Structure 1
C-alpha cells in the first residue's frame, strides 16, 4: 500500500517531469523559457531526493560518521547538486539527467501504483491463478526495462557534456566560476560509483586519443592533452571509497 511519503516522492518527480518538459519546449522553440519553470523543475527534484535521503539515512546527525555516509550516498549527491542548480543561473542541459530519471520513476509509479487503481486486472495466471497486470501495465514494464540501461548510458554522456558546458561557461562568464568546481567534484564521485560514467569517460578518452594521435597534430596539443590526463588522474585518484548507493534518480 502506497504511503503519503511515497505519493509525495512521486509528486516531486511529476513536478520535475512536467516543468522540465515545459522549459525544454520553450527553449527549443526559442521562446525564452522563464527561470520559473527551471526552478519549479528543481523544486520537484528537491522534494523527491529529500524524501529518499531521509528514508535511507534518517534524521541528520551531527557526527562525522553520519556526514561521511551521507556524502557517499549518490542520492545525497544529486540532492546537493539539484539545490546548487536551483539557486544558480539556469543552464538548460543541467535539467536533462534529472528529467530522464524522473521519466522512468514516474512511469514505474504509474504502472505499480496508479494503474492497479484505475485499470482492471488481466486474466488470472495459469500457474498461480492470481490476476495478472493489465496489458498496458505489462507493455509499460517491458518498455521501462528495455530502455533503462540505454537511458542511463545517455545520462552518463550528458553529465560529461554538462562539465564541458560549465567549464566553457566560466571562461566566457556565462556562469559562475564555482560551477565547474562543484560539478567536477560531483562527476568525480559519479566516476567511482557508476559503471555507466566510467564507460562514458573511457569512450571519450579513447576518441580523443585517436584524434590526438593523427599525423599532423601539433606537438603542443599532444603535450597539453597528456598533462591534462595526468592531472585528472592524480585528482581522481584521491577520492572517497566508492559505495553502493540507493540508485541515481531518487528511487523510493
Structure 2
C-alpha cells in the first residue's frame, strides 16, 4: 500500500436504511477509490440486495481483513454470514443487530491500526440500543469506546463552512443548564486544535454564536451571553485563540458572516445544523 493512501473504514449502518445506497453511489465514481483504500464492514448478501434494488453495477472485493484491503477497489470485510430479511425503510431488531456487528468490527480494526479513519453510515438509535450500545448516537459511543478519555466534538461541514456544537443530542429545555463557561472553553480549544491540525489553518478564526435571540437583548431574553458565553470567549482570547462573538444566529447566517471565519461554534444541535 502507498503510505500516503489512508485506509477508510465504512460501517454499513442500519441494513434497512440508506447506508448501502450512499456507499454504492459514492464509489460508482472510481476516482474516489484513488483517494483512499475503502473498507466496508458489512454483508455480501445485504450488499447484493441493495445493488440489485438500485440497479447499480458497483461491486465489492471481499477481503479476509482490513489489513489485506486492495488499492483501487471497494473492499468489504464480512461481519456476519447470517441471512437477514431486508425491509427497506423499516427499522427491525435484525437490522439493528447488523448495524452493531458492523460497528464493533470496524472499531476493533481501528483500535488495531488496520484502518486510519472511520466513517459511519446512518443507524436507527432505538433499534441499535442494547447492552453494548447504551448511547444516544455514534458520537457518544465513539467518545466512550475510542476517545481514550478525550472529549469528542461534533463538527459538520460543507464547501463553505465548518460548524461545531457545544451541546448535541438533548432536549431543548435542558440546553441552557448544560452550557457552562468551562464547557464552551473546552469546545473552543478542541475546535481550534482541529482546524489547525486537520485543516492546516495556521491561526483559525472561530465565531461563537449566542444562545438567546438577539444576544439576550441585554438580559431581557436571558443572561447566558453575559454570564457564560462572553467570559468564555474572553478567557480563550487571553490564551491567544482567535474567537469572536457572541453572534445572534439569525443575523450571522443571514448576512453571510460565516464567510469571514474558519469555523462556527453553535450552542445547540438545531442551531448549528439548520
Which structure has the highest strand share of the two? 2
Please state which band the TM-score falls in when normalised by the shorter chain: 0.3 to 0.5
TM-score between the two structures when normalised by the length of structure 2: 0.30
TM-score scaled by structure 1? 0.32
* Bigger fraction of residues in helix: 1
- Which structure has more relative contact order (CA 8 Å, sep 6+)? It is 1
